[in-house]
Amino acid sequence: MPTKKVSSTSCPAPRGKLLLIGGHENKGDAPDNDEQAALNVNFAPETILRRLAAEMRASGPLVVIPTASAEPEEIAKAYIEAYARMEGAPAVEILDVRSRADAMLAENVQRVQDAGGVLFTGGDQLRLTTLLGGTALQQVLQQRYAHDEFIIAGTSAGATAMSTPMIYQGRNDAGYLKGEIHITTGLELLHDVAVDTHFVARGRIVRMAQILATNPGCLGLGLEEDTAVLITEGKEIEVIGSGMVVILDVREGSTNIHEIAPNTPFTLCDARLHLLSSGERYTLPVMPRFYS
């Protein structure tokens, strides 16, 4: 029998943008009496939040989704107040989704459809993906990101949840023992990239290394506090903010993690490390995706 030839076409690059924030982004206050931050010439109040507002091409409000937080009203209020102080800032609305049923409601889906941009707050990324994964709200986010000039931002847990694979459990001081770090599927907006936040402040490079040891086709993207990356076309990144972005690439590395027993330290060799400050650009080596 002749072999049936299957034609595949690469999926087009998304028209939307992602803004992934490492957490603790400045909202107009002084740098928290931090002596090192005060000396940092890259520090400027509201840099990241202002950039989010500037990147909103679609009409409509900025919709803040505090689903990841155990205190949604309090965390959402901080963004309302921050943008209220900015001249020319967009209107800010809160979409308080606390259950999967909420994420299926037509009225909530319509609010995302009408938004000029979306911002996911910090909290617990597993809570965020558990409540939104597979719902109509996740679907409209994916559709708008793919087809519209639409920006989706996330800070801390909200940024971590954008990626697939997504880390959801692992202490800051853990990671060198096999099995200490747990991953799952994120909101599937950024593929083949593992994102972690508060990266330098909380010493999270070892736990990122374990994620990549078990997923060597992925890239690790570590975001420091008050630092963000703007991602366009699904792969082009620009660093924004006062801190540093860490990129870890183990595609040409080697590991023994598949051979050792659980709770055993693993080996990872020949990893490549990039440290990027504000204004730097980098192209993520994301593999193309196809449809038949």
Residues marked active site are found at 156, 198, 225
Is the Cβ–Cβ distance between 208 and 248 less than 8 Å?
yes
Secondary structure class of 13 (helix, strand, coil):
coil
φ, ψ at 166 (rounded to 5°): -120, 125
Structure tokens at 58: 């679609």
- Angstrom CA distances, 223 to 35, 91, 116, 129, stand at 21, 27, 25, 20
Residue 228 · residue 241 · CB < 8 Å: yes
Strand partners, 245: 223, 276
Whether residue 235 contacts residue 284, with contact meaning beta carbons closer than 8 Å, is answered with yes
